[in-house]
Amino acid sequence: MENSNHYNVIILGGGPAGLSAAIYLSRARLKTLVLTEGTPGGQMTLTHEIANYPGIEKINGYMLGSVMKKQATAFGAAVKGNTEIRSFRLEDKIKSVTTGDGQAYTAEAIIMATGGRSRTLGVPGEDTFRGKGISYCATCDGDFFTGKEIVVVGGGNSALEEAVSLTKYATRVTVVHQFDHFQAFQYAVDEAKANPKISFVMSSTIASFYGEEKLEGVKIKNLVTGGETDFKTDGVFIFIGYVPNTEWLRGHMNMNDRGEIIVGADMSTNIEGVFSAGDANAKRYRQVTTAVADGTIAALAAADYLHSQKRK
């Protein structure tokens, strides 16, 4: 009798990378399971509007995630949301995953699509106004602030490069940085300082966000004097780092010093039969489209791996 909890491929993560992989695998008639700790769609569901997904003029991030899930399940994939991963074994020929409800699942291949999250400030109002004036992605949301005045938080390469990029839309960009010097390369510092639309507030941080229906302003705290200033703004972009959701995989997979999974061109990891796709991978650009591409490649590579195992 067939084990109902055995699959050809288990995908850990239900963002655009994981769901894209599920679409390809299930359409290839491979028994596929997606396990995700949150709502299917991942970080994408937090985006109020996606306007740069090819072929779709505008769509809510939650809706795009729902459509991807519907496609995957229509082809036969099983998708289980709000599922905690309690334990796993990746090195064996038959991989296993045990969830918080005590269910044990096995598969011949695994695709990691655990994604990541932008590093947050963790101050009052940040959760309230996320997606309502607070953004962590200039490429995703910059256009929504055309003709507006905004704040960029951070002092690394990403912060300064994105600040310059955002001047294509915003009338004024104020960079708030906690130190009296930047951590960015000099070319990025020089470019930002040369831009007449950009001003700087150094040795300072955001103490809180406030507003009614949407973000209306921030409290900027000077870290030298301790004083706080009320600063009106239409939006805040936070670029203080990125955290891959890989803490639980340390010691099992090859990663760089930032905790990002190192993969080959086919999304293969150092463990045979285990692939990784999406924002948890070591790469420069993180967009919905790049996650979809990674998921597609990982699915095709996993299918090839399964076929090669059958030939042995």
Q: pLDDT > 70: what percent of the chain?
A: 98
- Residue 42 falls within a domain, yes or no? yes
Q: What is the mean pLDDT of residues 20-39?
A: 96
Measured distance CA(45)–CA(59) in Å, rounded: 11
96 and 150, same domain (yes or no): no
- Domain ends where: 192, 223, 238? 238
Residues 187, 188, 190, 195: is their CA dihedral positive or negative? positive
267 Cβ partners below 8 Å, 6+ apart?
111, 275, 276, 277, 281, 294, 297, 298, 301
Q: How many C-beta neighbours within 10 Å does residue 145 have?
A: 21
183 and 219, same domain (yes or no): yes
> Which of 20, 11, 21 shows the shortest CA–CA distance to 107?
11
Q: What is the mean pLDDT of residues 194-209?
A: 98
- Residue 17 falls within a domain, yes or no? yes
Domain that holds residue 175: 120-238
Q: Give the pLDDT score at 248.
A: 92
- Residue 104 falls within a domain, yes or no? yes
Taking 70 as the threshold, does the pLDDT of residue 89 lie above it? yes
Q: Give the pLDDT score at 96.
A: 97
CA distances, 128 to each of 51, 124, 178, 184 (Å) = 23, 8, 23, 30
Banded pLDDT at 52 (limits 50, 70, 90): confident
- Residue 96 falls within a domain, yes or no? yes
Q: What is the mean pLDDT of residues 114-123?
A: 92
- Domain ends where: 238, 254, 287? 238
Taking 80 as the threshold, does the pLDDT of residue 298 lie above it? yes
Please say whether the beta carbons of 40 and 66 come within 8 A: yes
251 and 287, same domain (yes or no): yes
Q: Give the pLDDT score at 266.
A: 98
35 and 177, same domain (yes or no): no
113 and 124, same domain (yes or no): no
Q: What is the mean pLDDT of residues 105-116?
A: 96
Taking 70 as the threshold, does the pLDDT of residue 1 lie above it? no
Q: What is the mean pLDDT of residues 38-56?
A: 83
232 and 133, same domain (yes or no): yes
pLDDT digits (tens, 9 = 90+) for 216-236: 999 999 999 999 999 999 999
- Residue 210 falls within a domain, yes or no? yes
Q: Give the pLDDT score at 121.
A: 96
Banded pLDDT at 2 (limits 50, 70, 90): low
Taking 70 as the threshold, does the pLDDT of residue 48 lie above it? no
pLDDT digits (tens, 9 = 90+) for 238-296: 999 889 999 999 999 999 999 999 999 999 999 999 999 999 999 988 889 999 999 99
CATH number at residue 305: 3.50.50.60
Banded pLDDT at 111 (limits 50, 70, 90): very high
CA distances, 27 to each of 24, 74, 93, 151 (Å) = 5, 9, 24, 45
Average pLDDT of the chain is 94
Please say whether the beta carbons of 211 and 189 come within 8 A: no
15 and 99, same domain (yes or no): yes
* Domains contained in the chain, number: 2
128 and 229, same domain (yes or no): yes
Taking 90 as the threshold, does the pLDDT of residue 194 lie above it? yes
60 and 124, same domain (yes or no): no
Q: What is the mean pLDDT of residues 67-85?
A: 96
136 and 81, same domain (yes or no): no
Banded pLDDT at 199 (limits 50, 70, 90): very high
- Domain ends where: 175, 206, 238? 238
162 and 96, same domain (yes or no): no
- Residue 1 falls within a domain, yes or no? no
pLDDT digits (tens, 9 = 90+) for 246-256: 999 999 999 99
Least confident of 42-46, 78-82, 259-263: 42-46
107 and 135, same domain (yes or no): no
Taking 70 as the threshold, does the pLDDT of residue 7 lie above it? yes
Q: What is the mean pLDDT of residues 21-28?
A: 98
Q: Give the pLDDT score at 286.
A: 85
More confident residue, 176 or 58: 176
220 Cβ partners below 8 Å, 6+ apart?
176, 201, 204, 205, 206, 207, 228, 229, 231
- Residue 136 falls within a domain, yes or no? yes
Positions marked catalytic = 137, 140-141
Please say whether the beta carbons of 121 and 206 come within 8 A: yes
- Residue 146 falls within a domain, yes or no? yes
